[in-house]
Amino acid sequence: MCPATAFIGVGSNLGDRLEYCREAFALLQSHDEIRLKAVSALYETVPVDFLGQDRFYNAVFEIETRLSPEALLEYCQEVERGLGKEILRPKGPRTLDLDILFFQDQVCRAPRLTLPHPEIAKRAFVLAPLSELAPDLIHPDFSASIQTLLERLPEAQRKGVKKQLEPGWESEDAPGGLQA
């Protein structure tokens, strides 16, 4: 079986946001069946949905894996729990959130695992980092590329997403190294 390519979104807005994102990277990289192929820049982003919370750090990882989508989700949730995933309220502050954005070209509508992730097209904090790694990837629900979906978002939303650190994320003391 050929490995599948998947994109994983990472976000944190509680505690040491950079450290949580770095740890998420290191723990994904440490899995025998996951190979990190690329890392986007780290963005600081204004919250959406529930506005009364601190800004997030967001990034996207491109991976190759022989895990099934369900097993990858389970591992992502293990990483979240391992890093003390704390959610103060739905859509609210959280130490670490990992979302599977795309898994190859799989489409799946189960509540436990929806693929592609259902919120991609409305979220500048996903589309901006994802467009660095896969600008031409076509979102099957919209028949449009990631770059096009980003350009379609209102400017106010795109302005809420600011590049904070380049893809090495200040790599000298990054756990596991961030040069994927």
> Pick from 6, 115, 128, 150: which binds ligand AMP (CB under 6 A)?
115
If binding is defined by CB under 6 A, does position 180 make contact with ligand AMP? no
Rounded CA gap, 155 and 134, in Å? 21
Residues that contact ligand AMP, how many (by CB under 6 A): 9
- Least separation in angstroms between residue 104's CB and ligand AMP is 13
Reference 77, options 93, 100, 60, 57; nearest CA is 100
1: exposed, middle or buried (C-beta count within 10 Å: 0-12, 13-18, 19+)?
A: exposed
If binding is defined by CB under 6 A, does position 100 make contact with ligand AMP? yes
Question: Tokens 């979302």 correspond to what residue?
Answer: 99
If binding is defined by CB under 6 A, does position 114 make contact with ligand AMP? yes
If binding is defined by CB under 6 A, does position 124 make contact with ligand AMP? no
If binding is defined by CB under 6 A, does position 117 make contact with ligand AMP? yes
If binding is defined by CB under 6 A, does position 139 make contact with ligand AMP? no
> Pick from 18, 26, 113, 144: which binds ligand AMP (CB under 6 A)?
113
> Residue 67 or residue 174: which is nearer to ligand AMP going by CB?
67
Q: Which run of H or of E encompasses 77?
A: helix 69-82
Q: How far is CA 46 from the centre of its chain?
A: 15
Give whole-number Cα distances, 16 to 19, 41, 73, 76, in Å.
5, 17, 24, 19
Interacting residue ranges for ligand AMP, rule: CB under 6 A: 73, 97, 99-100, 112-115, 117
